[in-house]
Chains A and B, each alone.
Chain A
Amino acid sequence: MKCKYLKLLNRYADNELKLNERDILGAHILNCQDCAKELKLIQALKKGVVNNRIDSNQEFFWQELKSKITLKQTADKEEIFTLDFTKFARKLIPIPVVVGVIAAIWLSVSVSTTNENLIDRYLFDNVNGGISNITEELPGDYSGVSILLN
């Protein structure tokens, strides 16, 4: 059966226990083979992870970093200009759309009004026995209207 103190060994190895807890666990480890073996592994792993250093040239790193920052700032400025232009262009996009919609509405209203006028005129002329020749007076084909009414 596993020792109940095994889970505390990480905190022991990482020096995260209070002094009295550390003393108690330290005394336990001396008499517990499971804990002693696990602690040995944790300490070996700690060594293995730490044993890994790179030392870079400070001046070279700094100079390279400075030039990267300068490059990025230049790129950001260009991006700001591009973004501003894009934003401006985006603001302009709705204008032709709105104009187009208004024109379409105006056209449809105007066509339907013209058709209604044609129908009214046709009915008026026929009811009163008039012989008004609509086609001569108004441009457009109203033959469809007469077909519809007949």
Chain B
Amino acid sequence: MDPDLELIERFKSGDLGGFEMLVKKYQNKSINLAYSLTQDSSGAQDIAQEAFIKVYENILKFRQESKFSSWLYRIVVNTAYDYLRKNKLLNVSLNDEACPEIIDTKIQEDILAKELVQSSLARIPFVYRSALILKEIEDLSYEEISKTLNVSIGTVESRIYRARQLLKEILIKKGVYKNEM
């Protein structure tokens, strides 16, 4: 039996220890997912906690048709979306100049440092960002992402493709990457 399902069954039968173990198992993944989606470290903790509260309240609705992790990640993504919407951080322009400037004409892997990619990531629309982050942060397959986001595999593929194209456009604008094709 899936160890997550065992913990869920324990929790459903009234054993809070089952829920505690689920939280401890997934808390860092959830926080990191929330952080990647929002770029807000203190907000990420709150989002993860809010997501676990929703799990606590709705565990009886979990029908075990998908993996617990897919269900949890969907809740984290939706909670992060609500957080960004409430704080009016959802529609950031791709032309926002807050992105760090790196003047270099040649692509270098080390130039595409964390800070630059992260700040660029925050500038792409949420639907593309969430698909890309589930791929890179949680290392989910396209099929698992499709279950998490409740969309088709083709949609996942096109969202990830679009996310990377938008990141590339930002890097070109910043002069970090030269498109010579």
Contact = CB atoms under 8 A, between A and B. Distances in A.
A69 interface: yes
B141 interface: yes
Contacts of B136: 46, 49-50
B137 A14 contact: no
A72 interface: yes
B107 interface: yes
A45 B167 contact: yes
Interface residues of A, number: 34
A68 B133 CA distance: 28
Interface string B4-40: 0000000000000000100110011001100110000
Contacts of A42: 164
Interface string B109-126: 100111011100100000
Interface in B77-100: none
Interface in A27-80: 34, 37-38, 40-56, 58, 61-62, 64-65, 68-69, 72
Interface residues of B, number: 42
> Which of A40, A61, A72 counts the most chain B CB atoms within 10 A?
A61
B112 A10 contact: no
A49 B177 contact: no
Contact of B112 (A2, A37, A44, A54): A44
Contacts of B107: 37, 40-41, 44
A11 interface: yes
Contacts of A62: 20, 23-24, 27
A58 B25 CA distance: 9
A122 to B, nearest CB: 74
A54 B41 contact: yes
Given A45-B164, A45-B168, A65-B53, 16 more contacts: A2-B181, A40-B109, A41-B177, A43-B109, A47-B112, A49-B133, A51-B117, A52-B118, A53-B32, A54-B32, A56-B31, A61-B27, A65-B23, A65-B49, A69-B53, A69-B56
